[in-house]
């Protein structure tokens, strides 16, 4: 079984190694900036409710008043709790970042600005054209990568998905999402060369790989973990607007796939598996669900993507369940490594109920209070459950190791150096407008603090109930997205075959020459749903157990038994 792989380095997609170091950095920056106090927030909510700023339609300006420069003093915001309100500039300053998606009105006007507002949009446009239900313009530009750069036995494409006028972006801003595609390796002279499509392309699975951060580049995962290329905004993506929630990410990814298949129709029939790692536990279910729902709604004249499966490795998918297992992982893991004292363990355990309550409130709706609970949960839960581990100086991605290089615990400088060589950028068709390649963008990471505690496991249930095979796997020495928490949410998942899955016996699977056990991992599987605890692997299973990871993924996408 050969595999075709795509690494989509969107404005947020990235490598898992930054996932919970992102928690640490984000928490510190959040405290330093002191965005808003709870008292100020509640005062702002009250001010919004009492605001004299009225709803308006196409013919009405924002409250009919302008400042001395002729510019309306109001900011239009969209939120389900107050779906059609204007805020004064002073009020808008008190609303925490991420609670609203706000856009300012035009800088000038002829009389009354004609502001067009859509109920499903998150900001406004003033050009009179309204919002686009899809992207106004999206296109793919790519080229073949010289085989000498990386792997002469695999055809490789790289380039950009250009997006203009997304319904999520104000003022028609542009985004340019970098991607790198690898076709299967040519293993015999009977197969086509790297410069031509392979004869049996329709039979070869395609993997779309999305890894976490949030705010880190999937290119790093390709080079450090799972790609054929291993040299001794995020990544090369760039643009005026960044994605900062899963709805935006999934929308971008869906249209990337549509455009990719349009430009490369030879792959349209290939079965697609979407794989996420770390914060990709948010991304991958969201993207897969977007593809699935678009397929369901598509008419006969619309191309339906051949979605075959979903896989998540050491992911953050259901925070409510997963955050309850940090204390146990720190003391009672399968390797018998106790990394915190009994007193610290007790303190972590005592804070779990508060953390869970906040996460529940976060997921209860889209009101101001719900979103404030999301921010609060992000700080409270990480302070109580992950910070005690980080203070030990151990690697959060492998409890057996010290954190060698703060903040990511691994040295990626050689990859950064190689990717920023002019020869490399030229070979990969990197735009001159792109920023210098870095592994992670903490500015984007910060924008996800209201998104962090959202639960994406219901998306997994929808997919499973419709026959989309799903694999959840986790290396058992990772702390930050540990196997205990991932196992817990799979057992709690409410889907049609929950009872059969929970009743299925765990059994060992595979072989490993490097693991202490002769088996590769411990598996539970039923009705297309599989959970696998991968032995002696940390956060990045393909790095720590390369042969096991390859065998596991190949078996999964080929419909094999576990």
Per-residue pLDDT of the chain (562 residues; tens, 9 = 90+): 445 555 554 333 322 222 222 222 222 222 222 333 445 444 544 444 444 333 333 233 344 444 444 444 444 343 333 333 444 445 445 544 444 443 333 333 222 222 222 222 233 222 222 222 233 455 666 667 666 666 666 677 777 767 665 555 544 456 777 777 877 654 432 344 345 554 455 678 888 888 766 556 555 555 555 555 544 333 444 444 455 566 777 877 787 888 888 888 888 888 999 999 888 999 899 999 999 999 998 887 788 999 999 999 999 999 999 999 999 999 999 999 999 999 999 999 999 999 999 999 999 998 989 989 998 999 999 999 999 999 999 999 999 999 987 767 766 666 677 676 777 777 766 766 666 666 555 555 555 567 889 999 999 999 999 999 999 999 999 999 999 999 999 999 999 999 999 999 999 998 765 555 678 999 999 999 999 999 999 998 988 898 898 899 989 998 888 9
- Catalytic choice (278, 439, 457, 512): 278
What SS3 class is residue 251?
Answer: helix
- Active-site annotation holds for 278: yes
- Active-site annotation holds for 117: no
Determine how many CB atoms are found less than 10 A away from the CB of residue 519. 16
CA distance 223 to 398: 19
Torsion of CA 298, 304, 308, 312, to 10 degrees: -70
- Closest Cα to residue 267, out of 352, 113, 87, 140? 140
Q: State residue 327 phi and psi, 5-degree precision.
A: -60, -45
Residue 73's pLDDT is 40
- Active-site annotation holds for 478: yes
Domain ranges across the chain: 4-30+135-333+398-557
CA distance 227 to 6: 10
CA distance 434 to 163: 15
Question: With contact defined as beta carbons under 8 Å apart, do 446 and 26 qualify?
Answer: yes
Q: Would you put residue 425 in left (φ > 0), alpha (ψ -120 to 50) or beta?
A: alpha
**Degrees to nearest 5, angle at CA 204 with 200 and 207:** 150
Determine how many CB atoms are found less than 10 A away from the CB of residue 350. 11
**What's the Rg (C-alpha) of the chain?**
24
CA distance from start to end of the chain: 16
Contacts of 331 (CB under 8 A, 6+ apart): 338, 339, 340, 342, 345
Determine how many CB atoms are found less than 10 A away from the CB of residue 182. 23
Contacts of 249 (CB under 8 A, 6+ apart): 10, 12, 13, 243, 283, 286, 287
Question: With contact defined as beta carbons under 8 Å apart, do 281 and 316 qualify?
Answer: yes
Determine how many CB atoms are found less than 10 A away from the CB of residue 153. 15
Q: Which CATH superfamily is domain 4-30+135-333+398-557 in?
A: Alpha/Beta hydrolase fold, catalytic domain (3.40.50.1820)
Whether residue 196 has a cis bond before it, omega within 30° of 0: no
What tokens appear for 341 in the block?
């004292």
Question: Is the Cα torsion angle 460, 465, 468, 474 positive or negative in sign?
Answer: positive
Residue 474's pLDDT is 98
Contacts of 308 (CB under 8 A, 6+ apart): 205, 271, 272, 273, 468, 469, 557
pTM exceeding the 0.85 threshold for the entire prediction: no
Residue 319's pLDDT is 97
- Catalytic choice (243, 478, 536, 544): 478
């Amino acid at each position: 079984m050969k595999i075709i792989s795509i690494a989509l380095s969107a404005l947020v997609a990235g490598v898992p190694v930054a996932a919970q170091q992102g928690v640490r950095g984000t928490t510190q920056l959040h405290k330093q900036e002191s965005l808003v106090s709870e008292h100020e927030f509640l005062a702002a909510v009250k001010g919004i409710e009492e605001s004299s700023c009225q709803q308006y339609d196409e013919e009405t300006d924002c409250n009919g008043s302008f400042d001395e420069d002729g510019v309306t003093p109001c900011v239009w915001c969209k939120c389900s709790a107050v779906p059609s309100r204007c805020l004064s500039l002073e009020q808008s300053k008190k609303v925490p970042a991420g609670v609203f998606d706000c856009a300012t009105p035009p800088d000038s006007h002829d009389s009354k600005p004609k502001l067009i507002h859509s109920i499903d949009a998150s900001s406004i446009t003033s050009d009179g054209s309204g919002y686009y239900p899809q992207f106004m313009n999206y296109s793919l530009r790519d080229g073949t990568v010289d085989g000498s750069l990386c792997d002469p036995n695999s055809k490789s494409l790289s380039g950009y998905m250009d997006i203009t006028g997304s319904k999520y972006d104000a003022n028609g801003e542009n985004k340019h999402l970098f991607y790198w595609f690898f076709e299967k390796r040519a293993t015999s002279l009977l197969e086509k060369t790297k410069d031509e499509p392979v004869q049996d392309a329709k039979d070869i699975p395609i993997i779309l790989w999305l890894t976490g951060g949030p705010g880190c580049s999937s290119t790093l995962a390709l080079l450090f973990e799972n790609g054929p290329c291993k040299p001794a905004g995020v990544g090369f993506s760039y643009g005026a607007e960044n994605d900062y929630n899963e709805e935006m990410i999934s929308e971008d990814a869906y249209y990337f796939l549509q455009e990719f298949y349009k430009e490369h129709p030879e792959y349209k029939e290939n079965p697609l598996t979407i794989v996420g790692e770390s914060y990709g536990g948010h991304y991958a279910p969201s993207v897969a669900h977007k593809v699935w729902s678009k397929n369901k709604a598509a008419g006969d004249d619309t191309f339906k993507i051949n979605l075959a499966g979903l896989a998540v490795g050491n992911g953050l998918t259901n925070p409510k369940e997963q955050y309850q297992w940090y204390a146990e992982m720190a003391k009672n893991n399968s390797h018998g490594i106790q990394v915190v004292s009994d007193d610290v363990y007790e303190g972590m355990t005592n804070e779990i109920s508060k953390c869970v309550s906040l996460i529940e409130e976060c997921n209860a709706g889209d009101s101001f209070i719900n979103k404030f609970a999301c921010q609060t949960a992000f700080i409270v839960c990480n302070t109580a459950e992950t910070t005690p581990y980080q203070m030990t100086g151990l690697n959060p991605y492998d409890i057996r190791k010290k954190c060698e290089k703060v903040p990511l615990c691994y040295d990626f400088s050689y990859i950064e150096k190689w990717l920023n060589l002019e020869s490399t950028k030229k070979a990969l068709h990197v735009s001159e407008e792109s920023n210098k390649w870095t592994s992670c963008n903490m500015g984007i990471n910060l924008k996800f603090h209201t998104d962090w505690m959202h639960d994406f496991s219901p998306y997994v249930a929808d997919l499973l109930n419709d026959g989309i095979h799903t694999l959840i796997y986790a290396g058992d020495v990772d702390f930050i997205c540990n196997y205990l928490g991932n196992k817990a949410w799979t057992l709690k998942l409410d889907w049609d075959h929950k009872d059969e899955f929970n009743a299925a016996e765990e059994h060992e699977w595979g072989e490993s020459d490097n693991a202490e056990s002769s088996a590769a991992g411990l598996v539970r599987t039923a009705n297309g749903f599989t959970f696998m605890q991968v032995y002696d692997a940390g956060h990045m299973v393909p790095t720590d157990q390369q042969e096991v990871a390859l065998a596991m993924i190949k078996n999964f996408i080929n419909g094999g038994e576990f």
